[in-house]
Amino acid sequence: MSDTPDITTEEILTSQGIEDAIAVLAAEIVSRCGDQNLAFVGVYTRGVTLARRVADVLAAKGKDCSVGTLDISLYRDDFDNRGRDLPKLNSSNVPFELEGTRVILFDEVIFTGRTVRAALDALADYGRPSKIELAVLIDRGHREIPVQPDYIGRKLETELCQYVKVRFLEDDKKEGVFLVTEK
């Protein structure tokens, strides 16, 4: 992640910062959901990690929460624009009854909102939860569709030419949130 004259990288959250943000998410979820029948669904790849981390925090507080996974590749609205990178599919796994369950969808960053739209479509094909909410680690703004997160770890002012990289040890062998600016 070395900078070049055209690309600058700024660390927004350290691993400690991520931990704190996750704690904020966990606390907020507990306070709002109480004892309701609750399940998490993470959007591949890092949304899954985020969901698991939050679930771990809740588990430590004695609240067990199952985590499902969702690959939204097949629901994307930009299939025609796939370039040279071929999408590798992951198996979605929603191992619990959605009917009557309050589901919290996890994604690491919310940007245009299109991923969330795809995730909502995908989730609908698994069943009809009593309620669906959205939790994100970072909200970087610039929505293109009317979708807003219910739980936010950290809000970030960004420019369109920037992008936010979330790195988790489990997925990336390093930890941190970075704001990358391309000039």
Contact residues for another protein (CB under 8 A)?
71, 74-76, 79-80, 82, 84-86, 88-93, 121-122, 124-127
Provide, rounded to whole angstroms, the least separation between the CB of residue 144 and another protein: 18
Nearest residue to 15 (alpha-carbon basis) of 174, 180, 179, 181: 174
Residue pair 151/29 in contact (Cβ under 8 Å)? The answer is: yes
Q: For another protein, which is the closer residue by CB, 31 or 91? A: 91
Q: What 3 state SS string does 96-151 have?
A: CCCECCEEEEEEEEECCCHHHHHHHHHHHCCCCECEEEEEEEEECCCCCCCCCCCE
Q: For another protein, which is the closer residue by CB, 86 or 160? A: 86
Provide, rounded to whole angstroms, the least separation between the CB of residue 176 and another protein: 24
Q: For another protein, which is the closer residue by CB, 93 or 162? A: 93
Provide, rounded to whole angstroms, the least separation between the CB of residue 147 and another protein: 17
Provide, rounded to whole angstroms, the least separation between the CB of residue 125 and another protein: 4
Q: Which residues pair with residue 180 across a beta bridge? A: 9, 163
Q: For another protein, which is the closer residue by CB, 92 or 115? A: 92
